[in-house]
């Protein structure tokens, strides 16, 4: 946009036929397939809304779009095989491993990168601070481990982790940092929220696994525990990190990526849609807003996507050019 606006009127006029011809040629060449673009949706709201938002943009281009609900780990295999076309939220922490594995097998590639950072780590709701004022420092947390004790963990504090298949290495972290905590793994994100909601009723101190961007931030304000800063190699090289002889003696990366993945066949089959997809980029506040429309305002994901698109034309209209 900025580049064309620098051209003088005369130049634009003289170039106009060229532009039109080029765009016509482009259109003829970039005829998208009539087959529906299959967008996989998972079980958290920002992803669903974002999928619908991008899907509605595609529909605006004249494409047909279908949504299919899938497991968030198995989806990369589905994209590789072309059963699904793209994935709008590839989290470094949660899905980096599955995504990288699928990349190596081929059939899938990175189509874009959101202007957002993701973070996943130990987290507590603000009321916890009353019982443990030294937070968010991890040493302070360790000092008041007894506050987090439960019948099943005995004297030790309980850290409620995510499902084991998220592969978060919390137990290794506890061991490396010699913390007075026991890791208990919840079986699903829903179980995490249920514990959190129950803890809120009588303001029980609780420390759980959480991530951002996430709807929970809006419902339960809280903070991440500050562990020793992540350094590359902290998980493999004992020398890196707080202690010279331990691995996982650090927090998780505080600035993980959030990417967009696409099937290798997409650029050829739906070139126009693919061109738009490459430009798609959302920020943390925008993603949180999408989640909020559903989780707090109680809208349906489809309606939330339409509402978001209507309110934020300035964000996405430029992607179409």
Partner 1 sequence: MSMTDQIRLPKSAPRPQIAMLLIGLAAVLVLTRAALPEGLIRPPDWLILPFADWVNTVFTFLRDDLGLMALTRAFAGMVEWLLDVTANILYGKSRWPRLGPLPWSVVAITMAALGAWLGGWRLAVLAGGTFTWIAVMGQWQWAMETLSVIAVAAPFSIVTGLLLGIAAWRFRLVARVLDPVLNIAQSLPHFAYMIPVVVFIGVGPKAGAIVTIIFSVPPMIRMTALGLAKVPDEVVEAGRMGGATPFQLLRKVRLPTARTEILVGVNQVIMQCLAMVVLASFIGMPGLGQKLLQLLQALKIGLSVEIGITIVLIAVVLDRLTRAWAMRQPQHHAGGLRWWQRHPVLLAWALAVVLAFALAQIFPILAQVPRREALSIAAPIDLVMDQVIRLVDPLTTWLRWFLITWVLIPLRDAIQFLPFSAILLAVAAAGWAIGGWRSALVVGGFIALIAVSGWWDRAMITVYMVGFSVCLAALIGFPLGIWAARGEARAQRMLLICDTLQTFPSFIYLIPVVMLFGVNDVAVVMAVVTFAAVPLIRYTTLGLRGVAPELIEAAQMSGATRRQLLWQVQLPMALPVMMVGVNQSVMFSLFMVIIAAFIGTQDLGQELQRALSASDVGKGMVLGLAVAFLGLAVDHLIRSWSRNRAA
Can you give the binding site for partner 1, defined by CB under 8 A? 38, 40, 43-45, 48, 64, 68-71, 73-75, 77-78, 81, 83-84, 150-152, 160, 163-165, 184-191, 193-195, 197-198, 201-202, 215, 294-295, 300, 303
Query: In this structure, what token pair is assigned to residue 177?
Result: 């940092």
Phi (first) and psi of residue 309, to 5 degrees: -60, -40
* Secondary element (H or E) of residue 213: none
* C-alpha of 16 from chain center: 42
- Residue 115 or 188: the one with the smaller Cβ distance to partner 1 is 188
The least CB distance from residue 128 to partner 1, in Å, is 16
- Residue 249 or 295: the one with the smaller Cβ distance to partner 1 is 295
The least CB distance from residue 204 to partner 1, in Å, is 10
- Residue 39 or 250: the one with the smaller Cβ distance to partner 1 is 39
CA dihedral 241, 243, 245, 246 (to 10 degrees): -60
**Are the beta carbons of 240 and 233 closer than 8 angstroms?**
yes
The least CB distance from residue 10 to partner 1, in Å, is 47
Q: Report how far residue 305's alpha carbon sits from residue 213's, in angstroms, rounded to the nearest whole number.
A: 17
Question: Which residues lie below 8 Å from residue 4, measured CB to CB, with a gap of 6+?
Answer: 12
- Residue 83 or 223: the one with the smaller Cβ distance to partner 1 is 83
Query: In this structure, what token pair is assigned to residue 164?
Result: 């084991």
The least CB distance from residue 198 to partner 1, in Å, is 4
- Residue 174 or 294: the one with the smaller Cβ distance to partner 1 is 294
- Residue 84 or 280: the one with the smaller Cβ distance to partner 1 is 84
Alpha carbons within 13 A on the beta-carbon side of 272: 22
The least CB distance from residue 59 to partner 1, in Å, is 11
Calculate helix-pair angle for 284-295, 45-60, nearest 10 degrees.
Answer: 100
The least CB distance from residue 303 to partner 1, in Å, is 7
């Amino acid at each position: 946009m900025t580049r064309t606006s620098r051209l003088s009127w005369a130049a634009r006029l003289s170039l106009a036929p060229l532009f039109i011809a080029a765009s016509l040629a482009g259109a003829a060449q970039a005829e998208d397939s009539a087959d529906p673009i299959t967008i996989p949706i998972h079980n958290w709201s920002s992803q669903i809304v974002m999928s619908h938002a991008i899907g509605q943009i595609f529909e605006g281009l004249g494409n047909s779009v279908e949504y299919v609900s899938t497991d968030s780990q198995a989806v990369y295999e589905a994209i590789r095989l072309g059963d699904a076309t793209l994935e709008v939220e590839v989290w470094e922490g949660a899905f980096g491993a599955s995504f990288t594995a699928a990349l190596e097998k081929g059939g899938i590639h990175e189509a874009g990168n959101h202007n957002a950072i993701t973070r996943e780590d130990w987290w507590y709701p603000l009321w916890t601070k009353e019982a443990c004022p030294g937070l968010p420092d991890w040493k302070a947390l360790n000092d008041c481990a007894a506050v987090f004790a439960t019948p099943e963990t005995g004297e030790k504090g309980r850290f409620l982790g995510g499902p084991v298949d998220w592969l978060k290495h919390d137990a290794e972290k506890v061991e490396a940092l010699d913390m007075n905590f026991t890791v208990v793994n919840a079986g699903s994100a829903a179980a995490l929220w249920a514990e959190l909601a129950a803890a809120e009723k009588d303001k029980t101190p609780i420390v759980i696994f959480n991530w951002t961007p996430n709807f929970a931030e809006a419902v339960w304000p809280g903070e991440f525990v500050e562990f020793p800063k992540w350094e590359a190699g902290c998980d493999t090289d004992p020398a890196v990190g707080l202690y010279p002889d331990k691995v996982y003696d650090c927090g998780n990366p505080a600035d993980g990526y959030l990417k967009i993945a696409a099937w290798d066949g997409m650029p050829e089959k739906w070139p126009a849609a693919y061109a738009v997809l490459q430009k798609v980029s959302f920020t943390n506040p925008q993603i949180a807003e999408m989640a909020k429309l559903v989780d707090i305002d109680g809208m349906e994901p489809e309606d939330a996507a339409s509402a978001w698109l209507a309110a934020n034309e300035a964000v996405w209209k430029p992607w179409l050019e």
